[in-house]
Copies of this chain bind each other. A is one copy, B any other.
Amino acid sequence: MDLYIALIHHPVVNKKGDVICSAITNLDLHDIARAARTYGVKGYYVVNPLEDQKILAAQVIRHWTEGSGGRINPARREAFSIVRLTDTLEDAIERIGRETEMPVHILATSARKNDKSVTFQEMRDRLPQIGCALLLFGTAWGLTSELIDRADYLIEPVKGCGDYNHLSVRSAVTVVLDRLLSGNGH
């Protein structure tokens, strides 16, 4: 099974629910690339249409793949080798489809539930039958309802202990990958 992830900077919502484009965060590149590589993710798409944001992210990626960063820290180079920049989710889906020559199933995570909602255990059991999947994560206050509605599967929210649930997107990505893909501990 080929699993890909996408970190969406547009379209996402802000605190008030307006559709916005958020800024790329350096540590989102590092932490999520490291987690993705650890769990065998095939590609980590950073989705942002803003030209200046893409230039900045491309510089960071080059530093760790071709520059001195990667020479000093080969493990980080390996993590960054799966990072891809795209303008839109459509671009990412198209590139993944070309690469795998398979239909791309879209998985989303959200605090909302709908009739496509599945538990982590159900999704983990189902993944081996799915040839190729792209798992979406929203920055800022999360994915727009349009994006959630177009997903093939909506994975249940991560529950900690109690009502408080405000993980960073970096933490959320790691927990979701661990629950779906880990080799031990479950």
Contacts and interface: CB of A to CB of B under 8 A. Distances in A.
Q: Size class of A's contact patch?
A: 35 or more
Contacts of A78: 164
A158 B185 CA distance: 7
A79 B120 contact: no
Contacts of A79: 166
Interface in A126-185: 156, 158-162, 164-168, 170-171, 174-175, 177-179, 181-185
> Quick one: copies of this chain in the complex?
2
Contact of A40 (B38, B119, B161): B161
Interface string A74-102: 01101100000000000000000000000
Interface of A: 27, 30-31, 34-35, 37-40, 75-76, 78-79, 119-121, 156, 158-162, 164-168, 170-171, 174-175, 177-179, 181-186
